[in-house]
Structure 1
Amino acid sequence: MIKSNDILRKQTALKGERKISILVGIFIVFMLHVIGVYWWYRNDDLFYPLFMVPPKAIPPFWHAIFVIMVNDTMARQAAMALKCMLLMYYKNGRGHNFRRQGQMLTLVEYTLLLYRALLPTPVWYRFFLNKDYGSLFSSLTTGLYLTFKLTSVVDKVRSFVAALKALSRKEVHYGSYATSEQVNSAGDLCAICQEKMHAPILLRCKHIFCEDCVSEWFERERTCPLCRALIRPADLRSFGDGSTSLFFQLF
């Protein structure tokens, strides 16, 4: 999983030089693995939490952990397979398409984080709602868990909505497209790639760069590459580099 995450990030950074064979290979391996795991455990309770349905029987603690970890891993692999498809689709993207690629990758990741936050809920709901512990205790623990889970899910929903709004935003939120006069006065060479500008973007600090270059820059930075003026507010973390969160969502 870690190795695949690194490969995806490298392929994202390669842009037009991405190797389709590698992306197709990762996609096939992940999808076959996901299908194989759920086929192998087809008589188990793995399927129910995928649709937010509690398991039929109260799971023992370690079995609950097993179900959650398997579903969490499979969800991440399915999302990484989807990211492979996006990288293949945007292989030759420049400027606006590169920015849209980053927005799509970010939206996929925040959708995944929201779904993964919800995945353990039906399992732990069934586990805590165990009358063997006593009605009062089971009701109390279930209520506490759902309360804390609601707080976590609300944060994930806000991030998801912000990523969705960023995707629907057509304008460049860190500047505007420069006119030919502005480009001529500033010089037609991009300070980042040292080549003739393609789809030049005028930042709020009045510096101009290729949209492709500056979009990639703002995937990891918040300031202008030249004057270090703050351009992009610290609102939503971008996953435009193709990375996937690798921590387990156990609760």
Structure 2
Amino acid sequence: MGMGVILRIDSGFFVTIYVTAFMYKSNDILRAQTALKGERRMSVLAGYLVVFVVHVIGVYWWYQNDDLCYPLFMVPPTAIPPFWHAIFIVIVNDTMVRQAAMAFKLLLLMYYRKAKGHNFRRQGQMLTLVEYALLLYRAFLPAPVWYRFFLNKEYGSLFSSLITGLYLTFKLTSIVEKVRSLWAAFKALSIKEVHYGSYATPEQVTEAGDLCTICQEKMQAPVLLRCKHIFCEDCVSEWFERERTCPLCRTMVKPAGIRSFGDGSTSLFFQWF
């Protein structure tokens, strides 16, 4: 192995560590900004947005002469990549598209900065929809790289064709699952009513008391759950981003469904293949 190849592997390793660490920190930032709700500052969101976008553009500009950009458009690399270079392309692209999606999520947070009630739920649904669209795209992303890699005739035509066929079959199964999740997220976005209860009437609020047991303040847009407990819509919507039971009686209220990413989080597992 030549010195140039070793240096290339070393530099690729450190770049991979850097972009991964940057993404993990960005995920923490995005979740923290989402949790601030109405207290978000537009200048802070705009600043993070610029940093995220510049970071993505900078990485692809630095590797503009490599095959890094081809898989983004579902085009295989021009040459058969060595195994470690294939891993590098897959990981960096997988990380950078998540970084770009985080920038888009920041735009959503800017749009829904003062979201309350129905709009707060819509913000969570939009963040979830973006994440499932991202998961679907990420499922496609490694395919051009491994397609080129597995079709290496040095392995023998029969073997390379067999491995490629098995890989594409596995990939198709994964993509079908992602499409179903994306469709479920899209359908949830089209549901306008509160799917875990209904808006409470003034009489029901008076009977239950007008203080929300979650925020301990006067109820805003009170929602009556199926278990007959009443909470602020903002409070209970945020609760159901991570739970499926009533905050008081622990009765199962929210139907089982796809995982919500309404807290602004991004899936951190790597799409290797």
Query: Can you list the C-alpha shifts for 1:81-136, whole angstroms capped at 9, x where unaligned?
Result: 11111111111110001100100111111111111111000110111011221110
SS at match of 1:227: coil
1:3 aligned to 2:25? yes
2:200 aligned with 1:178, yes or no? yes
Alignment counterpart, residue 120 of structure 2, candidates 98, 120, 133: 98
Q: 1:139 aligns with which of 157, 161, 175?
A: 161
**TM-aligned CA deviation for residue 60 of structure 1:** 1.3
For residue 128 of structure 1, the aligned residue among 150, 169, 176 is 150
Cα distance, 1:237 vs structure 2: 0.6
Residue in structure 1 matched with residue 258 of structure 2 by the alignment: 236
Distance (whole Å) between structure 2 residues aligned to residue 24 and residue 246 of structure 1: 23
What CA distance in whole angstroms lies between the structure 1 residues aligned with 2:120 and 2:153?
54
Report the counterpart of residue 20 of structure 1 in structure 2.
42
Distance 1:86 1:105 in 2: 8
Q: Which one of 42, 50, 74 corresponds to residue 72 of structure 2?
A: 50
Unpaired runs of at least 5, structure 1: none
SS in 2 for 1:138: helix
Greater Cα shift, 231-240 or 36-45: 36-45
Counterpart residue number, 2:4:
none
State the shift of 1:182 in Å.
1.4
Q: Residue 149 of structure 1: CA displacement?
A: 1.1
For the pair 1:149 / 2:191, whether they are aligned, the reply is no
Aligned pair 1:164/2:186, yes or no? yes
SS in 2 for 1:202: strand
Q: Do residues 87 (structure 1) and 109 (structure 2) align? A: yes
Under a length normalisation based on structure 1, what TM-score does the superposition of the two structures give?
A: 0.96
What RMSD over aligned residues (CA atoms) do the two structures have, in Å? Answer: 1.1
Runs of 4+ in 1 over 4 A off after TM superposition: none
Gaps of 5+ in 2: 1-22
Determine the C-alpha separation between the residues in 1 that align with 2:47 and 2:26.
11
The aligned residue for residue 206 of structure 1 is 228
Residues 1:118 and 2:118 are matched in the alignment: no
Amino acid aligned to 1:106:
T
The amino acid of 1:42's aligned partner reads Q
User: TM-score, normalising length from structure 2?
Assistant: 0.89
Stretch moving more, 20-29 or 127-136: 20-29
Mapped partners of 2:118, 2:110: distance in 1: 16
Q: Secondary structure at the match of 1:126?
A: helix
CA distance in 1, matches of 2:165, 2:243: 41
How far residue 155 of structure 1 moved from its aligned partner, in angstroms, is 1.3
Equivalent-residue separation in structure 1 for 2:70 and 2:26 (angstroms): 28
Q: Which amino acid in the other structure matches residue 206 of structure 1?
A: K
Q: Which residue of 207, 220, 233 corresponds with 2:242? A: 220
SS in 1 for 2:30: helix
Identify the match of residue 59 of structure 2 among 37, 43, 47: 37
Offset of residue 19 of structure 1 = 2.8
Aligned counterparts of 1:197 and 1:99: Cα–Cα separation in 2 = 17
In structure 2, C-alpha distance between the alignment counterparts of 1:242 and 1:180, rounded to whole Å: 33
Number of equivalences: 251
Match of 1:166, SS?
helix
Structure 2 residue matching 1:85: 3-state secondary structure? helix
Q: Aligned partner of 1:19: which letter?
A: R
1:247 shift after superposition: 2.0
- Identity across the alignment (%): 80
**More displaced, 90-99 or 187-196?**
187-196
